[in-house]
Amino acid sequence: MLTFKEWPWKPNPDYTRTMKALLREGDAHFVPLMEFGIDPEITVAILEESTLPESDDLEWKHHALDQKIRLFHQLGYDVLCQGPELPLPGLLRLEASDTALFTRETRQWADEKSGAITNWEEFERYPWPDSRDAQYEPLEYLAQHLPDGMAMIAGVTGIFEPLMYLMGLETLALSLYDNPELVQAICDKIRELFLPVARNLVEMDRVIGLTTSDDMGHKTGTLIDPLFLRKYVFPYHKVLAAHAHARDLPFILHSCGRLDSILEDLIEEVGIDAIHSFQDVITPVEIFSERYSDRVAVVGGLDVDLLARGSEEAIRTRTRQILEACAPSRAYISGSGNSITNYIPVQNYLVMVDETWRFNHL
């Protein structure tokens, strides 16, 4: 059984390996690792450590960041992802009991039907934060404490997700036709809030890339018509990419769902350098890599459903299959298809990482 304390691979971080892969200039015989998110319940379970009661004080935040550093460093990652703190207040959430393996007692998700802003009156009342309220302390702390050879991919909020959460998906869908001026006004506020944050992030020490998370799709297509994504969403993404490229940094997009109808926009118009989030039932990552890796780097791809429910043998076999198919592109980074959630068995996650290192040490 794989354990953190007896992890068989000695860490030797070198963020340039990840940087090169993101720019499609990697090593066909060495595939770096990346995860956009690992639930804290998984982190403490792997470390076999306790966590402090959650709070807003620096002691708790630094404790959590120290655990994050230890996990990523020991498992052999060159980079970790981190964003600043600038939450949007008043988002409507639904709640239920969390039945995951490493439960957090309750689980929340967005209300699809409604949100904090459904009309002009609510828009005027909404307590928008200021971009100057952003807290960069987590990135500053990591910049001072990361081991030599490690670096950060800085994360900034997307635009479609907060738009959807603020309005509710159903309200947004109707407003695209009935009240497009309100949709535009909310988008303008989101841009005004987060674009200055992105500009600051790419200037920070030990940041080697910029990423945004903006889930735009579902199993069979985009959540709204691509015409509206081109009007409201891609202009924001394009500026994010420009901020990164001004510093010669890659821009990585995380988006769940089937994006076939907008991939050309994302690659040619927005200018993404890498893309993340894959499901086998949509497009297996090796198929995507075969089609697009000469134009965009590919991150992750091991299906979360397999990670959550598969056997060790199945996970090893699938991980090796993906590595052998994608590594020759020199534009592949290994990892999960989405994130390491609190319903994934620790052993399954460690097996994926271990198999990547076995491939790298052939």
Question: Does the residue 162 lie in any domain?
Answer: yes
State the burial class of residue 40 (Cβ atoms within 10 Å of its Cβ: 0-12, 13-18, 19+). middle
Question: Does the residue 1 lie in any domain?
Answer: no
Give me the pLDDT at residue 21, please.
98
CA distance 239 to 254: 16
Q: What is the mean pLDDT of the chain?
A: 96
**CB 179 within 8 Å of CB 220:** no
CA distance 80 to 72: 7
CA distance 264 to 280: 21
In tens, the pLDDT along 159-174 reads 999 999 999 999 999 9
Question: Does the residue 10 lie in any domain?
Answer: no
Question: Does the residue 8 lie in any domain?
Answer: no
Confidence of residue 50 (pLDDT cuts 50, 70, 90): confident
What is the sign of the dihedral through the CA atoms of 203, 205, 207 and 212? negative
Q: Inform me whether the pLDDT recorded for 52 exceeds 80.
A: no
Q: How many domains does the chain have?
A: 1
In tens, the pLDDT along 17-47 reads 999 999 999 999 999 999 999 999 999 999 9
Q: Minimum mean pLDDT among 88-92, 125-129, 180-184, 252-256: which range?
A: 88-92
Question: Does the residue 7 lie in any domain?
Answer: no
Give me the pLDDT at residue 70, please.
97
Question: Does the residue 301 lie in any domain?
Answer: yes
Written as one letter, the residue type at 260 is: D
CA 217 to the chain's CA centroid: 15
* Edge-to-edge strands, sheet with 274-276: 79-82, 151-157, 207-213, 251-254, 274-276, 297-299, 332-333
Confidence of residue 53 (pLDDT cuts 50, 70, 90): low
CATH code: domain of residue 192: 3.20.20.210
The tokens for 98 are 């969390």
CA distance 57 to 35: 26
Q: Inform me whether the pLDDT recorded for 55 exceeds 80.
A: no
Q: Inform me whether the pLDDT recorded for 59 exceeds 90.
A: no
Among residues 126, 233, 125, 131, which one has the least CA distance to residue 184? Answer: 233
Residues of the domain holding 224: 15-360
Question: Does the residue 222 lie in any domain?
Answer: yes
Give me the pLDDT at residue 25, please.
98
In tens, the pLDDT along 308-334 reads 999 999 999 999 999 999 999 999 999
Confidence of residue 48 (pLDDT cuts 50, 70, 90): very high
Question: Does the residue 339 lie in any domain?
Answer: yes
